[in-house]
């Protein structure tokens, strides 16, 4: 009995030590790593790889990406430190060769409770069964329009039917699916009501994301930007919104139940990085496809973790760098509706 007591106390002390190592200077516990596997993509969305970039943008060579072995080493270390959630992003993560085997390896890491994937859906129909078998249950799928012609205008590819097929396949297999809609005034604002109705008529959570000014060649401008408050008013024309409790720390979205006048019910999320900063509850670090550790999407400070790895750093030295990045995490970003200061490339940082 005494031994059981000390064993329990040691477990509690170990858990507390891990948690303490992940607390930043503003008392936020960092439990979540967003990992960009590649900057390559099979689409050219106007807000991620605009026309000024897509022709001449130099993609990273294979040797410039962190290898899967390097990634597994880093993830093993952050999980040992107390992180328990990973999101795989890009670019488009499913275009990277060998990604399914890598995901299967991730699922075998003790202490990693959740692996999520953000995808554009182009390859989802053919990959969905393998993703489910590898242990992924939650997908965020980018879908900014439900009109095929507009889809081609936004993404540069006539692949709407293929993406929708992937979304439906994911639903049939039992994935928890969130649809991410980047809200752009004059581009897709005439579909916001349609997306709200989709949330009522399907099991998908629809999440409206404020258009962010990221990258030197960003197409962001004040005339295209629409706030979450404006979006919420549009959605309320479809039904009543009621905030759902206990959702805030699951991610940056403010999540609501939407109930229509005829009794249909769905779920809507609003992600508002500019108009309503969620920095005070941010629990994330980002590892870019170039191997740089970044504490904030909209803050350009990065540390070169790849250089450290390939320079023969010990595990303790890598843990020290991760810990320092957490301590250096800013209180918040300074973007406003009239100011841009993030020059990073979204496809490398990870959406």
Q: Based on the number of CB atoms within 10 Å of its own CB, is 16 exposed (0-12), middle (13-18) or buried (19 or more)?
A: exposed
- CA-CA distance, 161 to 170, in Å (whole number)? 14
176, pLDDT greater than 70: yes
341, pLDDT greater than 70: no
2, pLDDT greater than 50: no
Handedness of CA 28, 269, 93, 116 (dihedral sign): positive
Q: What is the pLDDT of residues 255-265, one digit of tens each?
A: 999 999 899 99
10, pLDDT greater than 70: no
Residue 82 dihedral angles phi and psi, to the nearest 5°: 125, -5
Structure tokens at 323: 């810990």
Contact between 191 and 233 under an 8 Å Cβ cutoff? The reply is no
Residue 24 dihedral angles phi and psi, to the nearest 5°: -85, -175
Distance from the first to the final alpha carbon of the chain: 50
pLDDT higher at 58 or 334: 58
Q: What is the pLDDT of residues 243-289, one digit of tens each?
A: 998 654 456 889 999 999 899 999 999 998 887 766 777 898 999 99
- CA-CA distance, 144 to 187, in Å (whole number)? 9
14, pLDDT greater than 70: no
Is the bond preceding 297 in cis, omega lying within 30 degrees of 0?
no
Average confidence (pLDDT) over 298-318: 93
pTM to 2 decimal places: 0.88
Q: What is the pLDDT of residues 216-237, one digit of tens each?
A: 555 546 678 999 999 999 999 9
Helices (H), the chain: 2-21, 51-54, 68-81, 99-106, 124-133, 148-155, 160-173, 192-201, 228-235, 305-310, 315-327, 346-349
pLDDT at 100: 96
- CA-CA distance, 287 to 119, in Å (whole number)? 17
Most confident of 17-31, 145-159, 328-342: 145-159
- The full set of domains in the chain, from first to last, is 28-349 (3.20.20.70)
């Amino acid at each position: 009995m005494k031994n059981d007591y000390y064993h329990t106390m040691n477990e509690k002390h170990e858990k507390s030590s891990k948690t303490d190592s992940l607390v930043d200077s503003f008392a936020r516990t960092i439990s979540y790593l967003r990992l960009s596997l590649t900057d390559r993509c099979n689409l050219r969305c106007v807000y991620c790889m605009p026309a000024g970039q897509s022709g001449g943008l130099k993609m990273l060579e294979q040797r410039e990406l962190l290898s899967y072995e390097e990634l597994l080493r880093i993830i093993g270390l952050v999980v040992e430190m107390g992180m328990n959630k990973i999101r795989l992003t890009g670019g488009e993560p499913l275009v990277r060769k060998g990604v399914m085997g890598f995901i299967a390896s991730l699922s075998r890491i003790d202490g990693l409770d959740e692996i999520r994937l953000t995808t554009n859906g182009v390859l989802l129909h053919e990959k969905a069964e393998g993703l489910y078998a590898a242990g992924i249950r939650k997908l965020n799928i980018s879908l900014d329009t439900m009109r095929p012609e507009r889809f081609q205008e936004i993404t540069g590819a006539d692949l709407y039917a293929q993406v929708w097929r992937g979304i439906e396949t994911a639903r049939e297999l039992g994935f928890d699916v969130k649809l991410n809609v980047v809200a752009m005034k004059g581009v897709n604002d005439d579909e916001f009501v349609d997306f709200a109705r989709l949330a009522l008529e399907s099991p998908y959570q629809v999440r409206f994301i404020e258009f962010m000014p990221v990258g030197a060649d960003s197409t962001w401008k004040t005339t295209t930007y629409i706030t979450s408050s404006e979006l919420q008013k549009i959605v309320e024309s479809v039904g009543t919104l009621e905030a759902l409790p206990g959702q805030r720390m699951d991610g940056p979205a403010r999540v609501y139940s939407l109930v229509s006048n005829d009794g249909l019910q769905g779920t809507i999320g609003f992600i508002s990085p500019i108009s309503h900063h969620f920095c005070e509850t941010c629990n994330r670090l980002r590892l870019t496809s170039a191997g740089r550790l970044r504490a904030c999407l909209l803050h350009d400070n990065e540390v070169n973790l790849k250089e450290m790895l390939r320079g023969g750093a010990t595990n303790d030295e890598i843990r020290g760098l991760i810990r320092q990045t957490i301590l250096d995490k800013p209180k918040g970003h300074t973007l406003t509706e009239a100011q841009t200061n993030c020059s990073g490339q979204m496809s490398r940082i990870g959406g």
